[in-house]
């Protein structure tokens, strides 16, 4: 479960609502669904910077422009605010969500046909955008929301407040629910380095060459392994503070790994990590896919200690993420069970571990009913199976300790086994140049910087080290991530009492 760090540290504002909206659509319902399936065990991976932002919402410590314009009375909206709502309040899947609700779809068509909106149209749009993002299970289980869905149109300001207030109630339940299910043993929670950085690139941007010899590199090497160490250790501490137990597992951001990061992970007390199958076969110098190697945990014995690693089955994971949403739920589940049946036949004498790992939020809006039909049928079939057990990594390792050892873990990620997604074009390497220039300033802070400002400056740099800014550079559809990255760096210079470089005033252009 991950979202970038959207909040402006100086203004406490966010221009993008995705923490809140994915929070009410994806993070809680997937956990609550398990109460009807006691045999199903899952691992939920949490990113501290995401949970920190969720807590900001529940503490009312964030200014969300989308939320503020949702609360504002429709009759009081200015022309520019109306334009913003028209441009942004249809930001959800058209076929699987908007078209499902007649009034929402009617408003969508009015906008597409450039028809004029009246006050009631804007009010209904404010309601439907926020209501449609709420998971279907909550729209059904809360009587007030069910009534508003059934009403369909001609909403009042009171109706709107019910929807928006319920969103915050849902957000408040996320962390306590995870904590309760983890304590019960039905889920395991793993953790990601705090601000979701690509750890190997923090240790050295030159590691991109280990993963792909043709990779572009910044003008100067970014080499701050201490930052990688902090991102890991602060995540482990945050996890312990919030869940009152030590973290056993870590999902390195984007499953990006290298030998250089292993000492920090081992020393933090983490027992296992997950990464992509491509890393396994590259590490073992296997030219062909070997499922006998894939379907077992492996051991990394290093000077600092031992670390277990499991590798995701990319093919099966990607069926969930990118294929099954276009199938009927019954056909998709039949296909998946067929794959597991064939795997079971091939390894009939062995107890094997098939690891599925995928994004926790991005797939489901492409599924009918936000994936509930698919997941409920899947969990039913898995619960009834005589040869499949769902398990967590920690539980599996207790009874099946890793036997296979990997001497050298090749650098790479779950995206084609390399780091090109964060280093693969001139825009991305230029962003690393800008980050390096800012990071150097921390080595020469003036004596006029207070302890509070120094801590805030460090936090701002750690945020700027997050993976998402580099992911989108060169392929950012509307420039929003470029804008966010430049704002984070600009704020950093303001915090340390220096004029931000002029280049931060314009979109990055290599």
Instruction: For 30, list phi and psi in degrees, rounded to 5.
Output: -65, -30
Task: Give the pLDDT confidence score for residue 4 in this predicted structure.
Answer: 97
> Which are the contacts of 307, defined by CB distance < 8 A and separation ≥ 6?
262, 265, 266, 270, 271, 272, 273, 299, 300
What's the rounded Cα separation, in Å, for the pair 405 and 308? Answer: 9
In a domain, 1, yes or no: no
Task: Give the pLDDT confidence score for residue 471 in this predicted structure.
Answer: 97
Q: Taking 90 as the threshold, does the pLDDT of residue 446 lie above it? A: no
- Residues 274 and 385 both lie in one domain: yes
CATH code for position 229: 3.20.110.10
In a domain, 7, yes or no: no
- Residues 174 and 198 both lie in one domain: no
Q: Which residue, 182, 202, 218, sits at the end of a domain?
A: 182
- Residues 178 and 197 both lie in one domain: no
- Residues 201 and 344 both lie in one domain: yes
In a domain, 114, yes or no: yes
In a domain, 498, yes or no: yes
Mean pLDDT score, 448-457? 96
In a domain, 214, yes or no: yes
In a domain, 475, yes or no: yes
Q: Which residue, 153, 182, 211, sits at the end of a domain?
A: 182
For residue range 236-288, list pLDDT tens digits in order.
Answer: 999 999 999 999 999 999 999 999 999 999 999 999 999 999 999 999 999 99
**371 touches 363 (CB < 8 A):** yes
What's the rounded Cα separation, in Å, for the pair 202 and 186? Answer: 35
Mean pLDDT score, 441-448? 91
**264 touches 200 (CB < 8 A):** no
Residue 439 lies in domain: 425-505
CA nearest to 111, candidates 88, 131, 92, 130: 88
> Which are the contacts of 282, defined by CB distance < 8 A and separation ≥ 6?
410, 412, 417
- Give the percent of the chain with pLDDT over 70: 100
Mean pLDDT (the chain, rounded): 97
For residue range 178-228, list pLDDT tens digits in order.
Answer: 999 999 999 999 999 999 999 999 999 999 999 999 999 999 999 999 999
What's the rounded Cα separation, in Å, for the pair 428 and 414? Answer: 18
Please list, residue by residue across 350-367, b when 16 or more beta carbons sit within 10 angstroms of its beta carbon and e when fewer do. Answer: eeebbbbbbebbebbbbb
What's the rounded Cα separation, in Å, for the pair 433 and 416? Answer: 24
Instruction: Give the end-to-end CA distance of the chain in Å, rounded to a whole number.
Output: 32
- Residues 123 and 221 both lie in one domain: no
Instruction: For 64, list phi and psi in degrees, rounded to 5.
Output: -105, 115
- Give the percent of the chain with pLDDT over 90: 98
Task: Give the pLDDT confidence score for residue 111 in this predicted structure.
Answer: 98
Q: Taking 90 as the threshold, does the pLDDT of residue 106 lie above it? A: yes
Q: Taking 90 as the threshold, does the pLDDT of residue 323 lie above it? A: yes
Mean pLDDT score, 36-60? 98
Task: Give the pLDDT confidence score for residue 447 in this predicted structure.
Answer: 87
Taking residue 290's Cβ as centre, other Cβ atoms within 10 Å add up to 13
- Residues 346 and 263 both lie in one domain: yes
- Residues 125 and 43 both lie in one domain: yes
pTM: 0.97
- Residues 173 and 199 both lie in one domain: no
- Residues 130 and 212 both lie in one domain: no
In a domain, 215, yes or no: yes
- Residues 44 and 171 both lie in one domain: yes
Task: Give the pLDDT confidence score for residue 405 in this predicted structure.
Answer: 98
Q: Please state the domain count of the chain.
A: 3
- Residues 80 and 121 both lie in one domain: yes
What's the rounded Cα separation, in Å, for the pair 176 and 365? Answer: 24
Q: Which residue, 405, 434, 469, sits at the end of a domain?
A: 405
pLDDT band with cut points at 50, 70 and 90 for residue 289: very high
In a domain, 410, yes or no: no
For residue range 17-28, list pLDDT tens digits in order.
Answer: 999 999 999 999
Q: What string of DSSP letters covers 234-294?
A: HHHHHHHHHHSS---EE--GGG-B-GGGHHHHHHTT--EEEEEHHHHHHHTT-SS--HHHH
Mean pLDDT score, 341-363? 95
Q: Taking 90 as the threshold, does the pLDDT of residue 65 lie above it? A: yes
Q: Taking 90 as the threshold, does the pLDDT of residue 378 lie above it? A: yes
- Residues 90 and 225 both lie in one domain: no
């Amino acid at each position: 479960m991950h979202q970038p760090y959207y909040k402006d540290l100086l203004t406490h504002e966010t221009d993008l609502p995705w923490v809140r909206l994915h929070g009410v659509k994806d993070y809680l319902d997937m956990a609550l669904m398990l109460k009807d399936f006691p045999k199903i065990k899952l691992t939920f991976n949490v990113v501290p910077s995401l949970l920190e932002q969720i807590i900001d919402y529940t503490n009312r410590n964030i200014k969300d422009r989308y939320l503020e314009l949702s609360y504002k009375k429709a009759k009081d909206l200015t022309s520019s605010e109306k334009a913003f709502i028209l441009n942004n309040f249809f930001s959800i899947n058209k076929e699987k969500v908007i078209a499902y609700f007649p009034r929402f779809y009617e408003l969508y068509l009015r906008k597409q046909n450039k028809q004029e909106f009246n006050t009631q149209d804007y009010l209904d749009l404010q309601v439907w955008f926020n209501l449609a993002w709420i998971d279907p299970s909550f729209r059904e289980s809360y009587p007030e929301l069910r009534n508003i869905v059934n009403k369909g149109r001609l909403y009042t300001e009171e109706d709107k407040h019910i929807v928006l207030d319920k969103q915050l109630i849902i957000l408040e339940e996320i962390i306590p629910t995870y904590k309760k299910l983890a304590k019960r043993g039905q889920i395991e929670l793993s953790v990601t380095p705090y601000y979701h950085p690509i750890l190997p690139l923090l240790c050295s941007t030159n590691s991109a060459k280990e993963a792909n010899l043709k990779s572009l590199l910044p003008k100067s090497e970014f080499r701050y392994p201490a930052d990688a160490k902090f991102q890991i250790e602060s995540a482990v501490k945050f996890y312990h503070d919030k869940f009152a137990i030590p973290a056993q597992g870590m999902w390195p951001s984007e499953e990006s790994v290298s030998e250089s990061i292993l000492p920090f992970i081992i020393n933090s007390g983490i027992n296992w990590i997950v990464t992509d199958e491509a890393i396994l076969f590259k590490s073992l110098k296997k030219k062909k896919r070997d499922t006998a190697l894939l379907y077992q945990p492996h051991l990394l014995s290093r000077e600092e200690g031992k670390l277990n690693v499991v590798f995701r089955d990319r093919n099966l994971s990607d069926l969930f993420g990118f294929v099954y949403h276009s199938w009927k739920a019954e056909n998709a589940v039949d296909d998946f069970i067929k794959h597991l049946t064939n795997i079971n036949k091939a390894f009939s004498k062995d107890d094997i571990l098939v690891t599925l790992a995928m994004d926790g939020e991005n797939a489901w809006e492409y599924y009918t009913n936000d994936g509930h039909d698919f997941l409920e049928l899947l969990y039913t079939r898995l619960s009834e199976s005589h040869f499949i057990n769902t398990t967590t990594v920690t539980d599996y390792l207790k009874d099946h300790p890793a036997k296979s050892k990997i001497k050298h873990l090749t650098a790479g990620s779950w995206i084609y086994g390399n780091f090109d997604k964060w280093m693969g074009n001139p825009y991305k390497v230029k962003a690393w140049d800008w980050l390096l220039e800012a990071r150097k300033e921390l080595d020469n802070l003036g004596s006029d910087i207070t302890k509070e400002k120094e801590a805030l400056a460090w936090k701002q740099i750690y945020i700027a080290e997050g993976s998402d800014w580099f992911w989108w550079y060169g392929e950012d559809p509307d420039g929003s991530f470029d804008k966010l990255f430049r704002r984070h760096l600009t704020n950093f210079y303001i915090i340390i009492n220096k004029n931000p470089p002029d280049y931060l005033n314009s979109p990055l252009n290599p």
